[in-house]
Amino acid sequence: MKKTALVLALSCAWGVATNTRAQSTDEKLRILQQEIDELKAQVKSAPQGSAGQQAGGGAGLQGSATTISGYGEFNYNNYKSDTRPTQADLRRFVFGIHHRFDDRLTFHSEVEFEHAVVSKDDEGEAELEQAWVNYKFSDAVNVKGGLFLIPLGILNETHEPPTYYGVERNEVETRIIPTTWRELGVGMHGLLGGSGLRYDVGVTTGFDTGKLDDPSTGVRSAHQEGQLANAHDLSVYGALNYRSRGLLVGGGVFTGNTGQNGASNPALKGVSARLALWDVHAQYKVGGLELQAVYAAGTLGDAEQLNAALGAPGAPVPKSMKGAYVQAAYHLYKRDKLDFAPFVRLEGIDIRQQEDPANGLFQDPNNHERITTAGFNFWVHPQVVLKADVQRYRTDSTKDRFDLGVGYMF
């Protein structure tokens, strides 16, 4: 009897609890549905807002005042000659911080680490590649100031590894145009008339030939990179580039005195040593075919006085330089994010030095060079690329090598 009463009591209690739970769940569902209906009604009746508000309800990222970008590459070079070591190198690791102060005023920067380790006993370098402020009046008129890239060639401004062919950067835009080449200064840039024609003009710091110590790379070793740059002699630049679907045609010029009133070498006081660098370039993409060509040239004045001042045995200064390359690539396989494109590039470099036989200064034969590069880029994602190529140097065959590389950007 007692057992029956107990079972009945438990059954009643269970039934009440179940009923209460069911009611509670139904109630919650009803409230949730009501909230969803109210939200939907609010969305439908919401006024149309600004561009940002409209898309803010979309699936894109919400805008942030500060953004981070980056790129980098790690390379493997296997030389045919035993005179050069086979090496793997974290060539560069770059991150950029960008900030929008308001609708028109922005800040852009890139910090670069080269060769993985930076210390006084290592090869690595840490450097600011860019740090500049831009004020955008409109697409047609931008004013900028700071440390920024000089718009010569194709590679100097667009140098992220997934954007170019070959494990190593091409020689013309390394030895004639000293990529990655930046100067401190002010400039204006913009699109003319809403077309694809972009102009760049400005006044910047220039080279200091008192610091020139490696004529095999043209004037590269004399660029100052914004590091306590001697600024007695400033330089000017100008560039025009037309871009459209698959097409780029353009050119630029940079010129200025480089003696810097003898700031880093007193013997150059009063020596102008005028440098002029210029280039023309083109890129055309149609279907799977990509064609690209660059011609760059330059002159350096007062070469004899520079030779006398610098007095480096066996290293006469360059008085003129020129180089060109043509490149063709074809996208053989493109599916989803995968993209495979073999390429070939033919390059020529001619750096003429101011010889002075009486003082043992002779032209370096390696400054007249022909390079053939053939290989492929394999993008596993539009922003991540695997590369492989072979390079043949006609003059300095100790540089003949096989290269592998991985590059990325974001």
Partner 1 sequence: MIRARLLALVLGLCAAAQALGEVYQTPEAFVAEVFGTVPAPRVLWLSREVQAGAAAILDHPPANLRQRYWSDGAKSVWILEEIGKEELITAGFVISQGRIDHVRVLAYRESRGQEVRDPSFLKQFAGASLANRDRLDRGIDGISGATLSVHAMERMARLALYFERRSRE
Asked if 136 interacts with partner 1 (CB under 8 A), we say yes
Structure tokens at 93: 């690791």
12/65 with CB nearer partner 1 = 65
Binding marks (x or -) toward partner 1, 222..261, rule CB under 8 A? Answer: -------------------x-xxxx-x-------------
Task: Tell which phi-psi region holds residue 294, choosing left (phi > 0), alpha (psi between -120 and 50) or beta.
Answer: beta
* 313 C-beta neighbours (distance < 10 Å), count: 8
Q: Residue 239, class by beta-carbon neighbours within 10 Å (0-12 exposed, 13-18 middle, 19+ buried)?
A: buried
Tell me which stretch binds partner 1 (CB under 8 A): 37-45, 169-177, 212-220, 400-408: 37-45
Asked if 141 interacts with partner 1 (CB under 8 A), we say yes
State which of residues 2, 5, 48, 193 lies at the interface with partner 1 (CB under 8 A). 48
Binding marks (x or -) toward partner 1, 103..132, rule CB under 8 A? Answer: xx-x-x------------------------
Tell me which stretch binds partner 1 (CB under 8 A): 174-182, 220-228, 283-291, 314-322: 283-291
Asked if 15 interacts with partner 1 (CB under 8 A), we say no
State which of residues 91, 144, 223, 319 lies at the interface with partner 1 (CB under 8 A). 144
Find out whether 89 and 408 touch, Cβ atoms under 8 Å: no
Q: Is 309 helix (H, G, I), strand (E, B) or coil?
A: helix
Q: Is 143 helix (H, G, I), strand (E, B) or coil?
A: strand
Instruction: Report in angstroms how near the CB of residue 18 gets to partner 1 at its nearest.
Output: 31
Asked if 61 interacts with partner 1 (CB under 8 A), we say yes
- Residues from 369 through 408 that contact partner 1 (CB under 8 A): 382-383
Half-sphere exposure of 410 (CA within 13 A, CB side): 7
Half-sphere exposure of 199 (CA within 13 A, CB side): 12
Structure tokens at 312: 């480096």
Peptide linkage before 180 cis (omega within 30 of 0): yes
Asked if 78 interacts with partner 1 (CB under 8 A), we say no
Asked if 326 interacts with partner 1 (CB under 8 A), we say no
Asked if 334 interacts with partner 1 (CB under 8 A), we say yes
User: What are the beta bridge partners of residue 183?
Assistant: 148
Q: Supply the DSSP string of 259-276, one letter for each residue.
A: -GGGSS-GGGTT---EEE
Asked if 56 interacts with partner 1 (CB under 8 A), we say yes
Half-sphere exposure of 245 (CA within 13 A, CB side): 2
Instruction: Report in angstroms how near the CB of residue 280 gets to partner 1 at its nearest.
Output: 14
Sign, CA torsion 97/102/103/105: negative
- Chain mean position to CA 125: 17
Asked if 289 interacts with partner 1 (CB under 8 A), we say no
β pairing state of 338-353 and 333-335: antiparallel
State which of residues 1, 4, 5, 62 lies at the interface with partner 1 (CB under 8 A). 62
Q: Is 136 helix (H, G, I), strand (E, B) or coil?
A: strand
Instruction: Report in angstroms how near the CB of residue 182 gets to partner 1 at its nearest.
Output: 15
- Residues from 151 through 190 that contact partner 1 (CB under 8 A): 154, 157-158, 160, 162-163, 189
252/256 with CB nearer partner 1 = 252
* 116 C-beta neighbours (distance < 10 Å), count: 14
269/331 with CB nearer partner 1 = 331
Find out whether 192 and 198 touch, Cβ atoms under 8 Å: yes
Closest CA to 128 of 185, 49, 182, 54: 182
- The Cα 146–Cα 73 span in angstroms is 26
Tell me which stretch binds partner 1 (CB under 8 A): 44-52, 114-122, 363-371, 389-397: 44-52
Instruction: Report in angstroms how near the CB of residue 226 gets to partner 1 at its nearest.
Output: 20
Asked if 52 interacts with partner 1 (CB under 8 A), we say yes
38/139 with CB nearer partner 1 = 139
Asked if 409 interacts with partner 1 (CB under 8 A), we say yes
63/266 with CB nearer partner 1 = 63
Query: Cα Rg for the chain, rounded, in angstroms?
Result: 31
Which stretches of the chain bind partner 1, using CB under 8 A? 40, 43-44, 46, 48, 50-52, 54-63, 67, 69, 96, 98, 100, 103-104, 106, 108, 134, 136-142, 144, 154, 157-158, 160, 162-163, 189, 191, 194, 196, 198, 241, 243-246, 248, 283, 285-286, 288, 334, 336, 382-383, 409
